[in-house]
Amino acid sequence: MEPDLFTAAAEERRERDPGASPLAVRMRPRVLEEVVGQQHLLRPGSPLRRLVGESGGGPAGPSSVILWGPPGTGKTTLAYVVSKATNKRFVELSAITAGVKEVRTVIESAKRQSGGFQRETVLFLDEIHRFSKAQQDSLLPAVENRWVTLIAATTENPY
């Protein structure tokens, strides 16, 4: 969604005063080099390194992925790190509270951002398994046309 005046002010305050954020947010890795564990995902040539581009610039282009794992394993953090490493705007939605309307709003905003400001968008969709098939289908045009890079997270086996 397009940030409003209050959201932008809150984000600016968090950047100026990191102590205002919860400890878990302050401790969250901000770059790929700060990620600990899962070394097979961090070594050169790994899928995660290819996703952000070996040099950090993201030359691999937009690749959408689904991250699967138990709660608290860093799925949201990885999505955030990928967006920062590729210098893309990070938009987070939860499938528990969002619907097709919110998804379409993010997609329209992403199209405007990429056209007007030359800035691509990473759409992080948490709990994607909660979306119905019709809701998931609303994402298809945006992913296929590369209007957004979808990074979805689920605790349910995607198979």
pLDDT at 59: 47
Q: Does residue 14 carry a pLDDT above 70?
A: no
pTM: 0.78
Contact 121, 114 (CB under 8 A): yes
Q: pLDDT exceeding 90 applies to what percent of the chain? A: 35
Q: Which of 55-59, 90-94, 117-121, 123-127 has the lowest mean pLDDT?
A: 55-59
Say whether pLDDT at 24 is over 80: no
For the stretch 57-67, pLDDT in tens is 444 456 788 99
Predicted pLDDT at 56? 46
Per-residue pLDDT band for 70 (boundaries 50, 70, 90) equals: very high
Which domains does the chain possess? 46-54+62-154 (3.40.50.300)
Alpha helix locations (H) across the chain? 5-16, 23-27, 39-42, 47-52, 75-85, 100-116, 133-137, 140-144
- Over range 65-94, report the average pLDDT: 90
Q: What pLDDT, on a 0 to 100 scale, did the predictor assign at position 1? A: 47
Nearest-CA neighbor of 2 among 81, 77, 105, 117? 105
